[in-house]
Amino acid sequence: MNPENIEIVLVHTTHSGNIGGVARAMKNMGLTRLTLVAPLEYPAPEANWRAASAADVLETARVVSTLDEAIAECQFVVGTSARDRRIPWPLQDARGCAERVAARSVQERVAILFGREDRGLLNEELQRCNLHCHIPTHEGYSSLNLAMAVQIVAYELRMLALSDKTGLAEDVDWDTPFSTSADMARFYAHLEETLVEIGFLNPEAPRQLMPRLNRLFNRVRLDEMELNILRGILTETQKASRRSK
């Protein structure tokens, strides 16, 4: 496991105290890389109070305005969620998720996303992810406090670091780097554009086609070479379709 490659990303946090609580939970467990996507109020004294001796994590935190910016360079993205969503996605509990994250982090940049206090992560944000993580709470009340959710995931990573059982990823010796989130976003835009052009996707009634294709490619994960091949196929498809029109 390489904690330097593990980024905790808080999306649109409302209560700045929670940001401090997250920083503390991270430092306690040996994580230091924190990114804040458009926090409502930050910097804020409540964040510093709650961080206690983890002020350094806050000081080095990256503040960005969009999720795209936060995860652009990441090759493996995990989204945490208190609820089931419309389309099922590959799902793990905190322990299973920590195993995957620890293994990927040896060679890849990994992000773990945590959502808003009131609404969690939006569907379109969860669809950016390779894996979803649900902490199995009691059925009666599934929503944990944000910092406590981070604490649990960070603790599972800590336990793996201590046992040095960071697990070998099945693709650790892959010959080509895996695509980043930014490259995948460009690919999805190109795919959508092409599907509209050839009449396969009706923009008036898109239904769940793009989320399903997102899920497909995020599940297999494309390396850079595979992504280039598919981009090439899309470009030629567009040319052929324009010629025939």
CB 118, CB 14: distance < 8 Å: yes
Query: Among 136, 46, 145, which Cα is nearest to 91's?
Result: 136
Return the SS3 of 219.
helix
Closer Cβ to ligand SAH, 155 or 192, answer by number = 155
Closer Cβ to ligand SAH, 149 or 157, answer by number = 149
Site string for ligand SAH, 86-115 (x = CB under 6 A): ----------------------------xx
Q: State how far the Cα of 218 lies from the Cα of 235, in Å rounded to an integer.
A: 21
Binding residue for ligand SAH, selected from 144, 182, 198, 210, defined by CB under 6 A: 144
Contact region with ligand SAH (CB under 6 A), list: 45-53, 68-76, 143-151, 162-170: 143-151
| 180 contacts ligand SAH (rule: CB under 6 A) | no
Q: State how far the Cα of 101 lies from the Cα of 196, in Å rounded to an integer.
A: 35
| 119 contacts ligand SAH (rule: CB under 6 A) | yes
| 120 contacts ligand SAH (rule: CB under 6 A) | yes
Contact region with ligand SAH (CB under 6 A), list: 97-105, 132-140, 202-210, 214-222: 132-140
Peptide bond into 43 cis (omega under 30): yes
CB 130, CB 77: distance < 8 Å: yes
Q: State how far the Cα of 183 lies from the Cα of 199, in Å rounded to an integer.
A: 24
Would you tell me which residues interact with ligand SAH (CB under 6 A)?
A: 80-83, 114-115, 117, 119-121, 133-135, 137, 142-144, 146, 149
